A and B are shown apart, each in its own frame.
Chain A
Amino acid sequence: MYRYDEFDATFVRERVAQFRGQVDRRLKGELSEDEFRPLRLKNGLYLQLHAYMLRVAIPYGVLSGVQMRKLAFLARRYDRGYGHFTTRQNIQYNWPDLPDVPDMLGHLADVEMHALQTSGNCIRNVTADQFAGVAADEVEDPRPWAELIRQWSSLHPEFSYLPRKFKIAITGAAQDRAAIKLHDIGLRLLKNDKGEVGFEVVVGGGQGRTPIVGPVIRSFLAKEDLLSYLEAILRVYNMLGRRDNIYKARIKILVQAVGAAEYARLVEEEWLKVKAGPLGAVPQAEIDRIQRYFAPPAYENLPDDTPSLEAKKLQDAQFKRWYQTNLTHHRVPGYSIATISLKPVDGVPGDASADQMDVLADLAERFSLNEIRVTHHQNLVLPHVRKQDLYEVYTILRAHNLAAANIGLLGDIIACPGLDYCNLANARSIPVAQKIARRFDDPKKLAEIGELRLNISGCINACGHHHVGHIGILGVDKQGQELYQITLGGSSALDASVGKIMGPGFPSDDVPDAIARILDFYLAQRSDAKERFIDCYRRLGPDPFKEALYARA
């Protein structure tokens, strides 16, 4: 993991002191709410329906045990005993009081954390593949590059007042777990035909009310050119992006307006000039320094076969199910990547209590080389668990309601906070997620349906990623009634696609049955048990699914 040196530590302390001053000026009335808003937003502080909400950055989703314990402490002391992990690998607290926020940031600084740029019209906290450094399908670890971007983008003087928010995601793997085609900039480390590693650069993807799968504007960028190229992309956007209409201000709108090829030309032209300036040369010594922090940890030399584990799988059917759904192949023999579902039936997707966070901190320290990851599906990961420890880890998770065996299945629902918390929402998301989870609370059924992404947003801003759910649900307000539209066929993987709206929405209570009709149709029509829902939908097209959805018995 990256560790702060004195420069990083000083910087974060200075930022806390600055924000303390800004809060002071607000409390004394020297700043109007209008003037304070952009300042607090640059520190992740929103004003929600009921209270302030503080969003804390978890850069590229990586946490240590000590950091997780601090998040638990904040949840207990300043919130109501829980926190909400987000689709951008951050954590949100829903009930802080404004005068306490500088202290919260001070506590975060104690463990090398901050809330910088988790909101506002600036470069947001960069996200990455949650399996970085352990995935078997990885070309190169994206975390050092994410850390380089984190530092470069922190209080960037030129890009702190962009037309709109700006999100960067990065992966180094063949399989895209970071949704890079749905970000303002998506970066993928890959090998070119000369065997060199560099970046593929995607620009202008996004969700919201104008979902767009981003085009590639450069198929190969040398690694050392990363920051100068990013600066060129952003400068063109900052000069030409729209500022007259908040709904047209994202870079995707500009890229669509000029065309991807033309945008690429503008960036290339600008880049030649940026590269000739001081940003042209991030010192190799700095890249090496950051990369050293991400060197593989001290793994033990273990056999990959673990007979004790096989025995436990035979004895404990629930464990076997968890083993089958929540584990991912680790690149080192004898180790496993364990994903911890924050989606128990009747839970709030992404929520964890302070006690659960403490348990996870302990588990990370005892069993996962002191590392935890946050996924953009709002789950957590213990990335380095010895296979021989898996059963013990599982029993501890089970004792704390953290052992839901539903990763990648229908129960693994992404949902935004919705109208229960958010002042943008048109409809509630959490109760709908819970109704669906309850309706399909049958492990056999979930396993039969197989891989499925079901995502729910409470409004068109699409924080619940409904556009890219295999099944997406969008809450809308129709004359005071909350209705839920269903979209099918979305994906955030490398074969990214935007789901298609099937038709009129359903009242909340009817949604589970509507989902059941779609899934029954799928189960009847799939060519075999290996054909995933998304593949079946792509093969048959929307019409028969639509017919099944609206068929009334």
Chain B
Amino acid sequence: MPVLENGKEIADRWMRVTEEAVLPDTGPIILSLAQWQKNRDSLIQRKDPLALLWTSSEMEHWYGENMGVAVYTKTQMGLSAIAVEDFSRFQMMVLDFPKFGNGRGYSFARLLREEYQYKGILRASGNVLRDQYLFMLRCGFDMVEVSDPAKVAGFAQALEEFSVFYQPAADLRKPAWALRHQR
């Protein structure tokens, strides 16, 4: 699956480890939260880089518990799933968009960047379409996975569509109100 950074395809060095698989000793791997919870002690000894995959409902549950509110879910995942202090152990976070219409990942990306000061790579996966790409970069994502290789060219075009932005976001592009008053 093509992975894009700044609109250009890059080599994907990361391997996604399935739930049942034995964790390989070497190489960059993308883990689930459950795998992290189960294997934290051995994983923190690992030399090669780790990435963490968040599903949309994990973002919801984790955020809710972190804010001290249980809304709808009787979640199995306690706050112990991962502490903010452990975020920096991951070179990359992968946020899943199960459907393009599910925009929770945009807020979670901004939370990671702006509130939890996460400095690693942010990658979007799942149902990612070109018309969301610019929004994703603005919310702090660096990379996206594109499921259909034929559509890669459109992603680069999508970054050229706008030159004016009305609000500050995680990308620190200057909003119109800042530019207007610096003339």
Contacts and interface: CB of A to CB of B under 8 A. Distances in A.
A286 B181 CA distance: 7
B77 to A, nearest CB: 15
Interface stretch (A277-285, A330-338, A352-360, A499-507): A277-285
A160 B166 CA distance: 13
A56 B110 CA distance: 31
Interface stretch (A232-240, A416-424, A464-472): A232-240
Interface stretch (B24-32, B57-65, B88-96): B57-65
A239 B72 CA distance: 12
A14 B164 contact: yes
- A interface residue count range (under 10 / 10 to 19 / 20 to 34 / 35 or more): 35 or more
Interface string B134-157: 111011000000000000000001
Interface residues of B, number: 46
Nearest to B181: A285
For the complex, would chain B's binding face be called helix, strand, loop or mixed by DSSP majority? helix
A273 B170 CA distance: 13
A279 B78 CA distance: 32
Given A38-B100, A278-B172, A242 B72 contact: yes
Interface string B30-64: 00000000000000000000000000100110011
Interface stretch (A149-157, A189-197, A201-209): A149-157
Given A240-B63, A240-B69, A273 B161 contact: no
A158 to B, nearest CB: 5
B64 A7 contact: no
Contacts of A18: 161-162
Contact of B176 (A11, A14, A156, A160): A11
Nearest to B162: A14
A289 B180 contact: yes
Interface stretch (A254-262, A295-303, A452-460): A254-262
Contacts of B110: 158, 235
A161 B100 contact: yes
Interface in A1-60: 5, 7-8, 10-11, 14-15, 17-18, 21-22, 35, 38-39
Given A158-B110, A269-B67, A279 B167 contact: yes
A538 interface: no
B82 interface: no
A38 B103 CA distance: 12
A159 interface: yes
Nearest to B59: A239
B163 A257 contact: no
B6 interface: no
Nearest to A148: B177
Given A152-B166, A278-B172, A157 B63 contact: no
A67 interface: no
Nearest to B71: A240
Given A22-B131, A238-B107, A269-B67, A243 B162 contact: no
Given A155-B166, A157-B136, A158-B135, 9 more contacts: A7-B164, A8-B164, A39-B131, A151-B167, A158-B110, A235-B111, A273-B115, A278-B169, A283-B181
Interface of B: 56, 59-60, 63-64, 67, 69, 71-72, 100-104, 106-108, 110-111, 114-115, 129, 131-132, 134-136, 138-139, 157, 161-169, 172, 176-181
16 contacts: A7-B164, A8-B164, A39-B131, A152-B167, A155-B165, A156-B166, A157-B134, A158-B103, A158-B138, A159-B103, A235-B107, A238-B103, A243-B104, A258-B69, A258-B71, A286-B180
